[in-house]
Amino acid sequence: MKFLDQAKIYVKSGDGGDGVIAFRREKYIEFGGPDGGNGGRGGDIVFEAVANLNTLIDFRYTQHFRARKGGNGAGSDRTGAGAPTVRIQVPIGTQIFDDEREVMLADLDAPGKTVLLCRGGDGGFGNASFKTSTNRAPRRADKGWPGEERWVWLRLKLIADAGLIGLPNAGKSTFLSVASAARPKIADYPFTTLHPQLGVVRLSMSEEFVLADIPGLIEGAHEGAGLGDRFLGHVERCAVLLHLIDGAAGNVVQAWRTIRTELSSYGGGLAEKPELIALNKTDAMSPQEISQRKRALEKATGNPVLLLSAATQGGVAEVLRALQDRITAERATA
């Protein structure tokens, strides 16, 4: 299934039903009087977060959602039927923005969370509602109130405990494949990963977390270079970031600074998130290169640097344990 994390759709709630003008006419009732009923309510537009969806691809093919009009009133004081609610199911983590993408209308970040986005119009009054002691035969009935309509943007932010970031070819997809049951595409060329991938990492019967692999960033990503920083929104909800650096590529300090610059330029609090730094591809370096590059990275970042080789799975268990401990600590203080 193709991954889609943004979609623009049109939604319109139903108009209210019309009230009617009617009079009671029975053989032995001399003065029947007005008995026109009210119109029914139009259908609402409701968004609901569900657990079995992970993409907005359905909204590429269905972009217009309209609720039905309420039923018209009838004689004998019969009120029109209310129209059913249109429930639009979206993945957990979906945010709803206005047409200008400036105002967030709702954030559906929990299973079963719902939001009434467009309320159906109220039904109009029939002439029975206008009967008074001085106006015993009103010939007035109101039309139903119109429903609400608007264009909205849907934006999906995946729910993950840890986000995997780094330059292209840093080994993120390989790490995800050995740490979880996810099977992302892996190749020896940049930008193999074109959209975020999720994997569940299970350390024990009681310890597991969701890891998100974000497509690689390059210098100038916040200005649209490469794949841009569009997918960074998926790590805004993460408790911790795992920054993978290709140790065999050479200048590891510059690689780290490039990603940090892009995180700061993007904003959204990503630069302030807890970060674990791991030097990958130790199998392609000599012991002396590993030592030198690890020391240089620790001096530049001021943090300890973990060592691993995703290809041979060396050090992977230690990195996953450090991630789990950090996630547990962050969630406890949240």
**109 among annotated binding-site residues:** no
DSSP string, 118-149: EPPPPPPPPGGGG--SS-SS----PPPPP--E
**181 among annotated binding-site residues:** no
Tokens 């510059």 found at: 254
Tokens 């019967």 found at: 205
**169 among annotated binding-site residues:** yes
**Any idea what DSSP says for residue 150?**
E
277 near 305, Cβ under 8 Å?
yes
**13 among annotated binding-site residues:** no
Q: Where are the beta strands (DSSP E) in 109-259?
A: 114-118, 149-156, 162-165, 197-202, 208-213, 240-246
What's the number of CA atoms in the CB half-sphere (13 Å) around residue 143?
Answer: 4
The 10 Å Cβ neighbour count of residue 197 is 23
**128 among annotated binding-site residues:** no
**18 among annotated binding-site residues:** no
**114 among annotated binding-site residues:** no
**195 among annotated binding-site residues:** yes
**216 among annotated binding-site residues:** yes
**193 among annotated binding-site residues:** yes
Q: Compute CA distances 292 → 164, 225, 277, 279, 288, whole Å.
A: 24, 31, 16, 12, 6
82 near 59, Cβ under 8 Å?
no
**111 among annotated binding-site residues:** no
251: which residues sit within 8 A by CB, 6+ positions away? none
Tokens 């004998």 found at: 76
**308 among annotated binding-site residues:** no
**194 among annotated binding-site residues:** yes
d(C-alpha 277, C-alpha 306), whole Å: 6
Tell me, what amino acid is at 146? P
**283 among annotated binding-site residues:** yes
Tell me, what amino acid is at 253? V
**173 among annotated binding-site residues:** yes
**328 among annotated binding-site residues:** no
**282 among annotated binding-site residues:** yes
**196 among annotated binding-site residues:** no
**168 among annotated binding-site residues:** yes
**190 among annotated binding-site residues:** no
235-237-238-244 Cα dihedral, nearest 10 degrees: 10
**311 among annotated binding-site residues:** yes
Binding residues for Mg(2+), as ranges, are: 173, 193
Binding-site residues, please? 166-173, 191-195, 213-216, 280-283, 309-311
Annotated binding site for GTP: 166-173, 191-195, 213-216, 280-283, 309-311
